[in-house]
Each structure stands twice: as structure tokens, then as C-alpha cells.
Amino acid sequence: AQRVTQPEKLLSVFKGAPVELKCNYSYSGSPELFWYVQYSRQRLQLLLRHISRESIKGFTADLNKGETSFHLKKPFAQEEDSAMYYCALSAYNNAGNMLTFGGGTRLMVKP
Amino acid sequence: GAVVSQHPSWVICKSGTSVKIECRSLDFQATTMFWYRQFPKQSLMLMATSNEGSKATYEQGVEKDKFLINHASLTLSTLTVTSAHPEDSSFYICSARVPLSGDGYTFGSGTRLTVV
């Protein structure tokens, strides 16, 4: 069965500092990985996915199959980046394709 | 982009009553919808996957008779919490796979259920 692990429940950084939110996964197949963000009082929304290899709001994430990781990075954190971040893996089960979420990391960017 | 509308956003009900939560895809057809439960400060836990016109597939540990899922049309899925108890109080979120989006998913805004 697939599993997604985000080791840090809370990450606190100062504005302008680099930030890295860790995500590790276990899956026997070829993984498709996503980062979702949930701002205060808003719905979950897609931040980026590994297949598109794009940078959104300054965030990037590289899939490292050797280390089974998909860490989210940003060189200079902004206060508006404060939110909950979820790493997710898309995998097939009996019902078809589904998302498995990590436990989430709350990012707090202090002024 | 593709939007999933979820209602109600919050509901308070008495123990023993049933509550229905609706999830509608507004500008696309959702053949598959997912229902999640989120406890405070915890991650989203998949409860069930519903496919239009067929029975939902429930995750292990989720009571089928308590959490009734209906996906009768390509734009509407409902979750009914039957005979609700205080331990059912939680945040429920629906999600749908967006077609032709490279496996993207869109999420409803969630429903906070409080059973008193």
C-alpha cells in the first residue's frame, strides 16, 4: 500500500529565509506526486505536481526516486506563504485512481 | 478552472439524526468523487470513492451503513451521515478528478459537522 510521510508538523521560518517542506513516499509503482496548500479558511488547492515540473508562487519540488522524496522548496519565504501544506501521491486502488495524503506541515512565516 | 461546490459549509445536528452533504461539479462531469474526513490538526483521510452509477468503494474501517454515499449523476455526489453521534463530528471534504487535467483533483470547501 502507498504511504506519504511529512515528518514535520510545524515549520517556522522568518520572512526571506529559505524553506523546505519534506515529503517521503512509499509506493511500488511509478509515483505521481502533488503538493496541495490550504490557506486559512480556504479550500485545499493544488500547488504543483511533479509531472509539470513548474514553479508556482516561487515553490519548486523535485521528485527523487532514489530517496523516494518530493520535498517542496522556496528560496525566500513570504508571510503570505503561511498555510498548511500537504504532499499527496496518486495511486491506483480497487476503485481506480486515488490520492493519499501526508499528515501535513503547517508553515509559519514570521515577519 | 474546475470547481466543486460543497454544501452546507457547516451544520449542527442532534444525536440520532441524519445529515446530508452535497458535492456538485459545476463545470465538468465528475465520474469519480472522493469523500475525505479531516480531524482537527490532522490530515485528510479517504473515506470512500464513488463512481457515477455504481456503489461506492469504502476504505477499511469506514462503516458503509453509517456513511451513505450516492453518486446518481455525473455532477452530484452526496454523503449522508446516518444516526449521527458526537464522534462523527468532523470536517468532511469532497473531491473530484478533473478530466483531461493530467490527473488533477479539485476539492470542495468542506463541511464542518457538529453533532450535539
Instruction: State whether residue A55 is helix, strand or coil.
Output: coil
pLDDT number for residue B1: 73
CB B103 to CB A97 under 8 A?
yes
- What average pLDDT does range A7-28 have in this prediction? 96
Q: Could you say which of B43, B97, B103 has the minimum Cβ distance to residue A101?
A: B43
Burial of B70 (0-12, 13-18, 19+ CB in 10 A): middle
Query: What does the H/E/C string look like for B30-80?
Result: CCEEEEEEECCCCCEEEEEEEECCCCCEECCCCCCCCEEEEEEECCEEEEE
pLDDT, tens digit, for every residue of A24-80?
A: 999 988 888 999 999 988 888 889 888 777 778 899 998 999 999 999 999 999 999
Q: From CA B94, how far away is CA B91, in angstroms rounded?
A: 10
8 Å CB contact between B58 and B46: no
Q: From CA B17, how far away is CA A30, in angstroms rounded?
A: 44
CB A45 to CB B107 under 8 A?
yes
CB A98 to CB B93 under 8 A?
no
